[in-house]
Structure 1
Amino acid sequence: MESVFPRELGLFCDAFPAESRHQLCGHELRIAHHHGARLGVAAPVWEAALTLCEYFEAQKLNFWGKTVIELGAGTGVVGILAALLGGDVTITDLPVALKQIEENVHRNLPAECMARTQVAALSWGLDHEEFPNNYDFILGADIVYLKDTYPLLIRTLQYLCGPQSTIYLSSKMRQEHHTAMFFERLLPVYFTSELAFRDENENINIYKVTHKSNP
């Protein structure tokens, strides 16, 4: 029977939930991720998300009393940390990912943070106008990887980003996904953008993006 049902559970890891732990900004986060075809790329904690969280700590970013929205949250790790750091946070992704995000919110946020954190579905370019358009911070980690979604993401960012907003986008710079084209050619048409941090070893860039004033 063991030849039919081997004991090595790693062979079936795609069918089982997993948990990872991360020390970030003085907090230990316990993040559940449910690997499988249903969630796909939304399941893991991507390195670009951890890099953005570490950037918050290095820069001592202040989220107290600030409104924050995370796009394409996946596990929600970035938005959860922003809530722990004082933000009034909305964590968004496609409907299929919301249950995983909600689980991680409940795992990691005390009651006082839960009271100012919400999880909501947001499909770029479609229902973004159901959200406010003046967030203090707009966050995204590894959300630039499907070329067909780039115009939808731009449209959503244009709506959400007010004159006082700051966008932080952390991304693995994947040549096969034309990631550099998005940041170097497309994004600067609509926003003021600067490279805020680069991790050479992981090939991850963090861009600080703001509203482009009319000339």
Structure 2
Amino acid sequence: MASEVVEEEKERLVIMGSYGGMVRQLRAPKGEEDEDEEEEEDSCGATAAEEEIMLLWGIQQPTLSKPNAFVAQSSLQLKLDSCGQSLSIFQSPSSLSTPGVTGAVMWDSGVVLGKFLEHAVDSELLLLQGKKVVELGSGCGLVGCIAALLGSQAVLTDLPDRLRLLKKNIDANLRHGDVRGSAKVMELQWGDDPDLELIEPPPDFVLGSDVIYSEGAVLDLLSTLRQLCGSETTVFLAGELRNDAVLEYFLECAMEDFIIGRLEQSQWHPDFCSSRVVLYVLVKK
């Protein structure tokens, strides 16, 4: 029995999209594996999403780890070395008092995702040079800035009231020094039709950090992902493990249109790992 479990786990390690490393694929619904089965459940009756939540909260135990390990949200700037440059990301801590505004400061998931991209490129598991990248919910713009430094043509998107801070950070960090790619800012409301520039041609990569935060926003987020993604698009989503119900709902809905894999922390940047963060790869079915 133990050998069967090991073999099953090995089978779930796959290469997905344009990322060259192995990721742990979340179980495909049995409705796709066996058309005679109506419901996707394991021997204990757990769905793939439920199984993933039990693993994350049971093994990683995110609530036992310190939050904001890589950020200081009371500060007006976050300083971070990346791609041979010292980045200064401006924040607006006072905006956190406004209901619904979270993109005015950095969160750990954004730092983890940005440094993962740098580490993956350095490890030759990912190529961003010359690639079209769209970042969702860019907030302060760290991830998009790093993507541009790694050679991509990055488009950083967010709601209208966040664009000013985004532009300020692009100007501060990408208008000097060795910038291999480019970055621009565009407005994008999840659930609305994206500007044609975002989807024609489809992006090579879609990035998002801390975008899975509200059950009410899940369907709009997935609608935008479906519109943005082509058959060759690879999605990287990093999230803070705060609310298991929201993440479970997202995974259940996303599995209808996407194959999902989880990147284990051994493939993250070794200096930027946190048990409070999870990193997924998605590709369209």
Which structure features the higher share of strand residues? 1
Larger Rg computed on CA atoms: 2
Where structure 1 has 5 or more consecutive residues not aligned to the other structure, the ranges are 1-13
The yes-or-no answer on 1:20 pairing with 2:78 is yes
Match of 1:107 among 172, 189, 192: 172
Check conservation: 2:154, 2:184, Cα contact below 8 A.
Answer: yes
Partner of 1:49: 110
Alpha-carbon contact 1:173-1:180 (below 8 Å) kept: no
Residue of 132, 136, 148 corresponding to 1:67: 132
Contact preservation (8 Å) 1:169, 1:206: yes
| Aligned-pair CA distance for 1:25 | 3.3
Residue 207 (structure 1) aligned with residue 264 (structure 2):
no
**Pick aligned residue for 2:240 from 172, 176, 180:** 172
Q: Distance in 2 between matches of 1:55 and 1:115?
A: 18
The AA in structure 1 aligned to 2:155 is T
> What corresponds to 1:190 in structure 2?
257
Stretch deviating more after TM superposition (71-80 or 104-113): 104-113
Tell me if the contact between 2:149 and 2:181 (Cα under 8 Å) persists in the aligned partners.
no
Question: Deviation at 1:71?
Answer: 0.3
Instruction: Tell me, in whole angstroms, the C-alpha distance in 1 between the residues paired with 2:104 and 2:83.
Output: 23
- What is the alpha-carbon distance in structure 2 between the residues aligned to residue 66 and residue 106 of structure 1? 21
| SS of alignment partner, residue 189 of structure 1 | coil
Q: Kindly report the root-mean-square deviation, in angstroms, between the aligned alpha carbons of the 2 structures.
A: 2.3
Q: Structure 2 vs 1, CA of residues 29 and 180 (structure 1 numbering), >3 Å: closer, same or farther?
A: farther
In 1: Cα distance, 2:274 partner to 2:175 partner: 35
CA contact (8 A) 1:145 1:177 kept: no
State TM-score, norm by structure 2: 0.64
**1:143-154 → structure 2 map (5 Å cutoff):** 143-154=211-222
How many Å separate the matches in 2 of 1:103 and 1:192? 36
Aligned-pair distance for 1:177? 5.5
Structure-1-length-normalised TM-score: 0.83
Query: Residue type matched to 1:58 in 2?
Result: H
Q: How many residues align?
A: 197
Shift in Å, 1:28: 1.5
Work out the CA distance in 2 between the residues paired with 1:27 and 1:43. Answer: 22
- Residues 90, 114 of structure 1: alpha-carbon distance in 2 compared, 3 angstrom cutoff: farther
* DSSP 3-state at the match of 2:190: coil
Match of residue 187 from structure 2: 121
Distance in 1 between residues matched to 2:127 and 2:142, nearest whole Å? 17
CA separation in 1, counterparts of 2:146 and 2:207? 11
Map 1:27-46 → 2, pairs under 5 A? 27-35=85-93, 36=95, 37-38=97-98, 40-46=101-107
Give the residue type in structure 1 aligned to 2:218.
Answer: Y
- Shift in CA distance, 209/114, structure 1 to aligned 2, threshold 3 Å: same
- Quickly say closer, same or farther: Cα 1:177–1:75, change in 2 above 3 A: farther
C-alpha distance in 2 between matches for 1:124 and 1:158: 11
Cα deviation for residue 193 of structure 1 reads 0.8
Larger RCO of the pair (alpha carbons < 8 Å, separation 6+):
2
Partners of 1:100 and 1:93 lie apart in 2 by 10
SS at match of 1:69: strand
Identity %: 28
Superposed displacement of residue 54, structure 1: 1.8
SS in 2 for 1:23: strand
Pairwise CA distance, 1:203: 1.9
String of CA shifts for 1:12-51, please: whole Å, max 9, x gaps: xx9x970110122332210001122458301111100011
Runs of 4+ in 1 over 2 A off after TM superposition: 24-27, 37-40, 110-116, 197-202
Deviation at 1:139, TM superposition (A): 0.2
Listed one character per residue, the Cα deviations across residues 40-67 of structure 1 (whole Å, up to 9, x for unaligned) are 3011111000111121122223210100
Shift of 1:165: 0.5
